[in-house]
């Protein structure tokens, strides 16, 4: 203690307070990481679900492909004579 000076206990007390605050910060970070982990797992599940759904939709439309057809009756459109 003589070599560390008269404020040895004050320095140790300040260091102990800082360590306590650091542990509290680490606990808060760990809690937030837990929340983020749950959110990531939830989103991952939704992505997998929608990927399967989209794949199913793509497969069903690929099997029912038809040749393109004019869906509009074009007989009522007047034909221009002699160009514009």
pLDDT digits (tens, 9 = 90+) for 43-71: 999 999 999 999 999 998 866 555 556 56
pLDDT of residue 33: 97
Domain ranges in the chain?
Answer: 8-63
pLDDT digits (tens, 9 = 90+) for 1-27: 556 677 888 999 999 999 999 999 999
pLDDT of residue 80: 59
Per-residue pLDDT, averaged over 35-47, amounts to: 97
Alpha carbons within 13 angstroms on the beta-carbon side of residue 9 total: 1
Share of the chain above pLDDT 90, in %: 56
């Amino acid at each position: 203690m003589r070599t560390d000076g008269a404020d040895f206990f004050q320095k140790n007390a300040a260091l102990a307070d800082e360590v306590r605050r650091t542990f509290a910060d680490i606990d808060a970070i760990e809690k937030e990481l837990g929340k983020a982990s749950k959110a990531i797992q939830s989103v991952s599940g939704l992505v997998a679900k929608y990927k399967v759904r989209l794949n199913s939709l793509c497969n069903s439309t690929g099997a029912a492909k038809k040749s393109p057809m004019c869906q509009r009756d074009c007989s009522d459109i007047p034909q221009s004579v002699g160009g514009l």
